[in-house]
Structure formats: structure tokens, C-alpha cells
A and B are shown apart, each in its own frame.
Chain A
Amino acid sequence: MFESIQFSSFGDFVEMGGYAFNVWSVYALFLLFFFINLYFPILKRKQIMREQKRRLLVNREKVSIDSKLSNNEMDKNDS
């Protein structure tokens, strides 16, 4: 199956038999889409983690402050 590379030179490869625009734009779109669809979920995950961690810390502080004031107000810190 791997008889040979189909292009004799790098210039040929870039040219794609005259269809450079079609071939390369499709592959560029594909790679762009590929990275966007992996990058954004990962970015979002970090964001969620940061956000939740902050919330957790704030809550903990609140809880510790509140517990000094009164033990009954814990429920309010849920949100």
C-alpha cells in the first residue's frame, strides 16, 4: 500500500495538483474545528474548577464565621 509518496517535491505537495485551495482549506477547517472543540471544553473545565474552588473557600470562611455567631444559620450558605 505504501508504494510511494504521491508527490515528487514539496512544491508539488503544496500545490495539490492545482487544487491547493480546496484541499488545504478543508484540512485547515478540520484542524481549526478539532482544536476549538478540544480547547474550549478544557478551558471551561478550568474555569468551572476555579469558580467552584473560590465558592468553596468563601463558603468555608462564611461557615467558620457564622458558626462563631450562631450555629443555626448554616443553611443560608448553600448558595
Chain B
Amino acid sequence: MWLWFSKLGSPKWFYELSGKWLPWLAAGMSLLLIVGIIWALLFVPPDYQQGDTIRIMYVHVPFASISLAFFPLMAVAGTITLVWRMKLADMVAKTAAPLGAWFTALALASGSIWGSDIWGTWWIWDGRLTSMLLQFFLLVGVISLRSALEDADAAAKACALLSIVGCINVFVIKYSVDWWNTLHQPSGSFSLSDEAPNPPEVWVPLVIMIVAVYLFFVVSLILSTRNEILERERRSQWVQELIGAN
């Protein structure tokens, strides 16, 4: 078990394994993405209320759902960094933060474009939008802390701690914002997800898109983490050999 764990933490091992997996992941991602986008754009019937804007759901929902995974991911990576000092966990955490900010920003942008017709405005202080916005701010905080601290080791630990605190905070913020929102809008604004039971031709492409975007997230996380490994381990023997052979 411990052997396996320390092996898992070795950047070299991750680099080699991810190199083997990457083509498969990328192929799966491309296939699902093409199928999902074509299905969503061409074959999904227009919604009886929202018309063709329902097609935005196939971009928005995957991004929004993955955005929620970033803080838990960073908190787990942070715990591993603080407890076991595993270098790989910090590399993942470092690349996850900007990626998370991007995902959150895109979820916000697509949500607001989708909502612009339903709500009649680009932005409302709806519970979900507000907590997403605050999550974006928290992610920016982690990124700026990372760039402000020069010592890599201190930055790793500080960001790990901030991610853990931030993860707890994201949940508290989510509940308090929902609470705030229900009190300020007792009538309840139009909710995007509470729709009538959906037929399979609506949710099957959604599942495909969610899996595709998840794969996209994994692929881009792996790509950036590999870069991070190459940069940080550039003094080590195996990276020198790898570059020499290239």
C-alpha cells in the first residue's frame, strides 16, 4: 500500500502513465464532444418554454457541474501536500487553480447568456450565480497567493491551506447565499434545472456532453501538470534523458 502510494506520488511515474493514457483520453474526448455537439445542436427538440436556447444547456451544465469539483479537488490535493508532502499533489493543485477559474468564468458567461432571454437581463443576483461568482473570487485569491509567494515550497503549503479553508468556505457561502436569496426573493426566481421530467432525447446528449467536458478537464489538467513536472524536475536524471532523446 505504502509502496504504491509513494509510487503514485512520484512525478516520473505519473508522467509516464499519463503519457500512455493521454491519446486514449484525447480520442474519447474528441469523439464524445463531436457526437455531443452535433446531437445538441441538430437533434435535440426545442424546449416548449425556452425554444432553441435549450441548446445552451449542453455547454452550461457540464461546465457548471465541473466548476463545483475544483475546490474539493484542490482541498484533497492540499491535504496530501500538507500531510504527505507529495510533490505531485501540489503540481496538480497549482494547475487546477487557473483551470478552475476558467471553467467557473465560462460557466458564468454561458449561464448569463442563457439567462439573458429567460430573465430578460444578463445578470441577476440569483443564488447559484452569486455563489459561483464568489467561488471565482476565491479561486483568484488562490492563484494570486501562488504568484505572490516566491518560495515554491512555502507557496505550495500556503495554497494548500488556503484551498482547504476555501473549500469549507465554498460550502458555507453556498448555503448562506441560498438563504439570503430565498429571503430576498420569496416568490422564487425562474430556476433553470427544475424542469419537467425530461425525455431521453434531452438528457442522453447532456450526459454525453458532461462526460466529454469531464474528459476535457482531465486532458487539460494532465497536459498542464506534465509541463509543471518537466519544469520542476528539470534537474533530475530522467527528464534530462527524456529531453536528450527528444
Known A27-B41, A37-B102; judge A1-B204 contact (CB<8 A): yes
Is the pair A26, B200 in contact by a Cβ cutoff of 8 Å? no
Residues from chain B with a CB closer than 8 A to the CB of A29 are 59, 106, 109-110, 113
Q: How large is the interface on A (under 10, 10 to 19, 20 to 34, 35 or more residues)?
A: 20 to 34
Majority SS at the chain B contact face = helix
Residues from chain B with a CB closer than 8 A to the CB of A38 are 219-220, 223
- Find B226's partner among A7, A34, A45, A53 (CB 8 Å cutoff): A45
CB A64 to nearest CB in B, in angstroms, measures 15
Binds A, one of B76-84, B141-149, B230-238: B230-238
Cα distance A3–B102 when bound, in Å?
Answer: 36
A11 at interface, CB cutoff 8 A: no
Residue of A7, A22, A56 with highest tally of chain B CB at under 10 A: A22
A 28-79 contacts with B by CB, 8 A: 29-30, 33-34, 37-38, 41-42, 44-45, 48-49, 52-53, 55-56, 78
B224 at interface, CB cutoff 8 A: yes
Is the pair A13, B42 in contact by a Cβ cutoff of 8 Å? yes
Q: How large is the interface on B (under 10, 10 to 19, 20 to 34, 35 or more residues)?
A: 35 or more
Write the chain B residue with the least CB distance to A47.
B227
Cα distance A2–B201 when bound, in Å?
Answer: 8
CB A24 to nearest CB in B, in angstroms, measures 10
Known A2-B43, A78-B235; judge A23-B102 contact (CB<8 A): no
- Find B227's partner among A4, A17, A48 (CB 8 Å cutoff): A48
B46 at interface, CB cutoff 8 A: yes
Is the pair A18, B51 in contact by a Cβ cutoff of 8 Å? yes
- 10 A/B residue pairs, CB under 8 Å, sorted by A: A6-B42, A6-B45, A19-B117, A26-B113, A33-B106, A41-B226, A41-B227, A45-B227, A48-B227, A52-B240
Write the chain B residue with the least CB distance to A38.
B220
Residue of A18, A26, A53, A78 with highest tally of chain B CB at under 10 A: A26
> Quick one: CB contact mask for B85-107 with A, threshold 8 Å, 1 for yes?
00000000000000100100010
